[in-house]
């Protein structure tokens, strides 16, 4: 696909965007996020969980055995907030909290089979929506979208994201 194809004439080749175009982009992100979270929200509501539970399940699944401190850094939440979420997930049998073998002060988190099944259902719903959107938008748009998302990340978050992505290629 050549440069400028499938783009409105008023955006083609611009190195800057007007405030109105940026506002429309912000609004598009809000509405896209609502769509992206709608299916998992329905699944979570059935279990009286929220998005914080989803994020914890996602990143524990991504890095089985991760420590509570690593999860705190990844999620960027307070210890108190994470403890409330983890307590519920542990009590409900979705997450195991095991004492470290090398350092007894560390707590390592893994999903139980029930936790893995819930995480799978939540991720499948989001992957299905994202896969359909990517197919519709096309390869060039996918690369552009990913570039925009990465450009919006603060440098430390971008490093964290790229480090996590490196684990995909082991």
Q: Of 1-5, 58-62, 121-125, 159-163, where does mean pLDDT reach its minimum?
A: 1-5
Q: Per-residue pLDDT tens for 29-55?
A: 999 999 999 999 999 999 999 999 999
Structure token pair of residue 157:
């978050």
**What number is the average pLDDT over the span 4-17?**
60
Which residue, 26, 22, 21, is CA-closest to 9?
A: 21
Q: Edge-to-edge strand order for the sheet containing 107-111? A: 66-67, 107-111, 95-99
Could you give the domains of the chain? 19-137 (1.10.10.10)
Residues 6+ apart with CB under 8 A from 55: 75
Q: Per-residue pLDDT tens for 129-158?
A: 999 999 999 999 999 999 999 999 999 999
CA distance 12 to 70: 42
Residues in the chain: 170
């Amino acid at each position: 696909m050549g440069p400028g194809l499938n783009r409105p004439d008023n955006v083609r080749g611009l190195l800057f965007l007007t405030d109105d175009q940026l506002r429309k982009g912000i609004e598009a992100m809000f509405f896209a996020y609502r769509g992206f979270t709608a299916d998992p929200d329905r699944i979570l509501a059935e279990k009286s969980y929220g998005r914080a539970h989803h994020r914890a399940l996602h990143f524990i699944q991504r890095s089985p055995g991760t420590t509570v401190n690593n999860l705190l850094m990844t999620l960027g939440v307070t210890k108190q907030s994470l403890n409330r979420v983890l307590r519920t997930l542990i009590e409900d049998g979705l997450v195991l909290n095991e004492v470290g073998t090398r350092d007894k002060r560390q707590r390592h988190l893994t999903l139980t089979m029930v936790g893995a099944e819930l995480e799978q259902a939540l991720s499948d719903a989001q992957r299905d929506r994202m896969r359909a959107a990517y197919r519709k938008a096309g390869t060039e748009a996918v690369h552009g979208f990913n570039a925009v998302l990465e450009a919006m990340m603060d440098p430390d978050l971008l490093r964290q994201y790229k480090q996590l992505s490196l684990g995909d290629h082991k």
